[in-house]
Structure 1
Amino acid sequence: MAAATSPLDVPEGRKSRTRGRLQLILILLVTLGPMILATSMYKLNFWVPEGRSYHGVMIGNGQSRADIGIQAQDERWQLLVSTPDACTEDCQQLVYLARQIQVGLGRDASRASHALAIATPVIGDYQALLEREYPQLQRYPLDADRYRTKVVEPGAQLWIVDPHGNLVLRYDAKVKGKHVLDDLRHLLKLSNIG
């Protein structure tokens, strides 16, 4: 006599097909799920950590030196001091700080340079000081009108610029040199360029 089949009994072929579909869905969730979650977090700005590991203002919009009115070429990381006016005390302090930070890099000092971008020519005693004390300081002309339309912060600024000329971080004249040095060391450690 044939055994009675229960309505709960599922044929073996259908079980394996169902199991295969569940495995496929699970594989897709495991591989695509994190990408979908990360994209959603970025686009919808949720679960984004508030902490950060840098001290300056991150420039994440792809601006370059040329975008803020500075025409320059350097294939190293750069500590760039900029001011649309004369190089006053704040600017001079940042120029000094940029050189000290480059020296503070130690064996990585050759991967970075320091520069000054200014709209008006440096004259007088400070010009003589720059020539005597800062022989490696690169100097660039600055388009003051373009600079003022792109940079809303007044006064002298210190920038970390990557080897491609992209602005990475910005600091005002009150920055502590240790913070900039820590940020630049971190960038050099992560970077394969420059």
Structure 2
Amino acid sequence: MSTPPNAPSRNRNRGMLIALVVIFLGSFAVAGALRFSGWRPSGLKNHGELLQPPSDLRQQTPTLADGSTYRWNPVERTWRIVVAPPADCGNECIELAREINLVWQLFGHNADDVHVLWIGTPPAGVELPDTLRQLQPSPALLSALPRADERGGRSGRDLPVYVVDPNGFVILRYAPGFDPGDLRSDMARLLKLR
């Protein structure tokens, strides 16, 4: 026959049980509060402006500089970086082309999975990504890019840049003056989704 636990032992056991329940349920309460307050870890936040709803380019059929059409072809799982500079773009386009090329090279073995779509004529005398596709300017295509005519920001990055998913939706916009490192980190996360 066992002897009943003495009062101090029983109280200590109850205290430990209550502490475990509080810790267990408290972690759920804290997680729920963080979730519903909109907080997200910094590693999960995108740096570019998430477009809600995303612009749909699937109905657009861009024309390449050689006159052929550029297909969105979602089966290939190709991501796109879109640059839509004005026709009179000078030094800012040269600097942006250098930075886009550097970002593209930093993708390493995933670089071939990212096309850079340059609407208009890219600057001469600058190394450009191997996957650069020069598109003919199209009013319909430009109007589908949110605030494509917005200018401003720091020198060399005075143009907006866009990220288009493999299906043809414009999902991210980088405002004039963006940091190229932000584009690289967002694209690196997106390329892991393949």
TM class by smaller structure: 0.5 to 0.7
Residue correspondences, number: 138
1:43-97 C-alpha deviation (Å, 9 max, x unpaired): xxx9351556011111231313467895543541111111244333333322222
Equivalent of residue 64 in structure 1, options 56, 68, 73: 56
Check conservation: 2:54, 2:170, Cα contact below 8 A.
Answer: yes
1:1-194 equivalences under 5 Å are 47=36, 49-51=38-40, 53-65=45-57, 70=62, 72-74=70-72, 75=76, 76-118=78-120, 121=121, 126-127=123-124, 129=125, 133-134=127-128, 136=130, 137-144=132-139, 147-148=142-143, 151-152=146-147, 154-155=150-151, 156-189=159-192, 191-192=193-194
| Counterpart secondary structure, 1:60 | strand
- What percentage of aligned pairs have identical amino acids? 18
1:147-189 C-alpha deviation (Å, 9 max, x unpaired): 3585335132211111122112111231112111110011111
Q: Which has the larger radius of gyration?
A: 1
Q: Which runs of 4+ in 1 moved over 4 A?
A: 66-71
Please identify which structure carries the higher helix content: 1
What value does the CA root-mean-square deviation take over the aligned residues? 3.0
Give the TM-score of the pair, scaled to structure 1: 0.58
Aligned AA (1:139)? Q
Rounded Cα–Cα distance in structure 2 between residues aligned with 1:93 and 1:66: 30
| Counterpart secondary structure, 1:87 | coil
Point out where structure 1 has 5 or more consecutive residues left out of the alignment. Answer: 1-45
Give the 3 Å change call, closer, same or farther, for CA 111–148 of structure 1 in structure 2.
closer
Rounded Cα–Cα distance in structure 2 between residues aligned with 1:97 and 1:50: 31
Point out where structure 2 has 5 or more consecutive residues left out of the alignment. Answer: 1-34, 64-69, 152-158
Give the TM-score of the pair, scaled to structure 2: 0.58
